[in-house]
Each structure stands twice: as structure tokens, then as C-alpha cells.
Amino acid sequence: MKIAMLARNANLYTHKRLKAAAEERGHQLDIIDTLRCYMNIATRRPEIFYNGEQLKGYDAVIPRIGASVTFYGTAVLRQFEMMGVYPLNESVAIGRSRDKLRSMQLLARDGVGLPVTTFAHDPKQTEEVLKLAGGAPIVIKLLEGTQGIGVVLADTDRSAKSVVEAFRGAGVNILMQEFIKEAGGTDIRAIVIGGKVVAAMKRTGAEGDFRSNLHRGGSAQVVKLTPEERATAVRAAKTMGLNACGVDMLRANHGAVVMEVNSSPGLEGVEKATGLDIAGKMIEFLEKNAKAGATKTKGKG
């Protein structure tokens, strides 16, 4: 197979691992800088160019689109889809998962366990929205945040109101979620590929930090999932329409609750914690499923 990988930094652990895993299996994998692609949106003849040359002949595309370039990245991916190239994750599914509000609404619709989540536009409704979420302590999240950035824990109703007013004054949209105290600063990331959980790790936040992101100094170790947690992760991936993703969950008193579904999960933490070849499993999925024109959405928005 000839595989394109849309990624801005070829030197990241995950990207090097995916390239090595593809080459070990006899495939060609080209790492293409997403923002240096340009497109000819022509009737019945969609084309993509990169460094002055037309990109063609690819059997599959692996989108590793950073949150900051979601708009342009999904546009490039749609163009690949319209050219009949099979994506590991489709553009529509990535767009769904990147929109925190939309993803929460879809997960709630499908009965996936979630922390109580509230959303409002008018800062005057802060008190009512706080009550709906169960009051302080409460987690306040920027809709556009990633890797733990833009996530605040407000200990009191008063501090929550101040944070909400500050964010809304800056014109940014936020969610409020109940704080799952019993999780104790740990969460679980389950890697789902092709509708199956292939690996899971428990992440623990750095001392004094309620966020467990490895980018923020957290640590990881292998964890055994309960059948309920496994089913929750698979259902969350299916709801988003993602073939390969990381599902972040907390262990609440009433069961597993999903915090986020990540369409481009980093592989370093989970591969080192579990000793499993996750990059190889992603390439294996493409080997089994990549067929010309097999994209469900055909580039539709």
C-alpha cells in the first residue's frame, strides 16, 4: 500500500512509530505537512498538490491533524476522500470529536455515560447553570481547549462565577462539568481500533494537578478495564464514527463516564505503559479495510 500521513511534525514519537510500522509491513508511508497542501477543487477531478507536485496513487491516508489546524486539516482530508483514498478516520468524524459540545450531545443521545455537563451563553445564567451541574467544585472547560489547556477547577461557586464571567467577557465558549472527586486525579484512556479496545492505560496527574494529561507531567500504567468500561469506550468510538481513537474515561461512583474522544491519540504513553504495538494495529486495520472509494461520507460535510 501507498499511505499518506497528514502531520505537521514528522519527528513526533507517534508519527515515527506509524511510519516504521507501515514500512515493517512492506508499505510506503509519506509524511505530508498538512498546511503545505493546496487543492484544486475542480468538477469531477479533485486534486491535491504538495511542494509543487500532484499527490496521487495513494491507497490510504492517516490524518494526524492537530487541534489548532482542524479546519484546514479536515478540508485537505475531505479532498483525499473525494479522490477515493481511504482514511483511517473520516473528516466528518474528526470534526464531530473536535467539537466538545457536539460530541457531548451525541454521546448523551446514544446513552453513553457522561459527567453532568451544562452549557449556556449568557453569563447572567451562571448561577442556574452551576446548580444544574451540581455546584462547586466544578470543572470549567474551553470548547477549543486541548491537552488539558483551558481546563479550570473552580473550588467554590463564587470562584466559578468569576471564571465564567472572565471567559465569557473574552468571548469564548465554555462547558461546565461536575467534578468527579472519587476519580482522585486519575483517568483511563482506552485505545479503540476497528470497534475493539486494543489497549488501556491509567493516567495519574502530577502532584497537585487534577488533570491527568501526560503532556502536563502525568504518569501512565497499564490497567485492566471492566466489561462496562470496555463497552463504554467502544460505544463512544462508534457514536463519533471513529475507526481509531483514544477514549478518556473517569471511574465515577455510578460507573464509567466519558470525558473526551480523541481522534489523534498519542501512542508514546500507551505503548510504553502496555508494551503493545498500537501503531502496527492501526496499519493492520488499513490493510484489512482500505479500498478505493470505500469512504462512507464521500467527502460530505
104 domain-assigned: no
301 domain-assigned: no
Q: Cα dihedral angle (211, 217, 221, 227), rounded to 10 degrees?
A: 20
138 domain-assigned: yes
106 domain-assigned: no
296 domain-assigned: no
Do 190 and 158 fall into the same domain? no
Instruction: Please tell me whether residue 254 adopts helix, strand or coil conformation.
Output: coil
Q: What is the model's pLDDT at position 300?
A: 45
101 domain-assigned: no
Do 15 and 91 fall into the same domain? yes
179, 194, 228: which is the final residue of a domain?
A: 179
Binding residues for Mn(2+): 248, 260, 262
The pTM score is 0.87
We report the CATH number of the domain holding residue 136 as: 3.30.1490.20
How crowded is residue 258: how many other Cβ atoms within 10 Å of its Cβ?
Answer: 23
130, 148, 179: which is the final residue of a domain?
A: 179
At 157, list the grid cell. 461557586
Cβ-contact 1, 290 below 8 angstroms: yes
107 domain-assigned: no
We report the CATH number of the domain holding residue 54 as: 3.40.50.20
We report the CATH number of the domain holding residue 271 as: 3.30.470.20
Binding residues for ATP: 141, 178-179, 187, 211-213
Q: Give the residue ranges of the chain where pLDDT is below 70.
A: 123, 144-149, 206-218, 293-301
102 domain-assigned: no
Q: Give the distance, in angstroms, between the CA of residue 30 and the centroid of all CA atoms in the same chain.
A: 22
Instruction: Return the bridge partners of 202, or none.
Output: 188, 221
Do 141 and 195 fall into the same domain? no
234, burial (CB in 10 Å: exposed 0-12, middle 13-18, buried 19+)? middle
137, 154, 179: which is the final residue of a domain?
A: 179
Do 68 and 123 fall into the same domain? no
Binding residues for Mg(2+): 248, 260, 262
Instruction: Return the bridge partners of 37, or none.
Output: 50
Do 141 and 205 fall into the same domain? no
What is the tally of structural domains in the chain? Answer: 3
At 283, list the grid cell. 496499519
Q: How far is CA 208 from CA 115, 184, 186, 220, in A?
A: 22, 11, 12, 16
**What count of residues does the chain have?**
301
Do 162 and 193 fall into the same domain? no
Binding residues: 141, 178-179, 187, 211-213, 248, 260, 262
Do 209 and 224 fall into the same domain? yes
For the chain, strand residue ranges (E) read: 2-6, 28-32, 37-40, 47-50, 53-54, 60-63, 86-87, 117-118, 138-142, 151-154, 174-178, 186-193, 196-204, 219-222, 244-252, 255-262
Do 7 and 74 fall into the same domain? yes
Cβ-contact 187, 115 below 8 angstroms: no
Q: Which residues contact 112 (CB under 8 A, 6 or more apart)?
A: 232, 235, 236, 239, 258
How crowded is residue 300: how many other Cβ atoms within 10 Å of its Cβ?
Answer: 12
Do 192 and 217 fall into the same domain? yes
Do 159 and 218 fall into the same domain? no
List the domain range (segments joined by +) for residue 30. Answer: 2-95+285-289
Do 172 and 186 fall into the same domain? no
Report CA torsion sign: 261, 266, 267, 273: negative
Closest by Cα among 203, 186, 193 to 269: 203
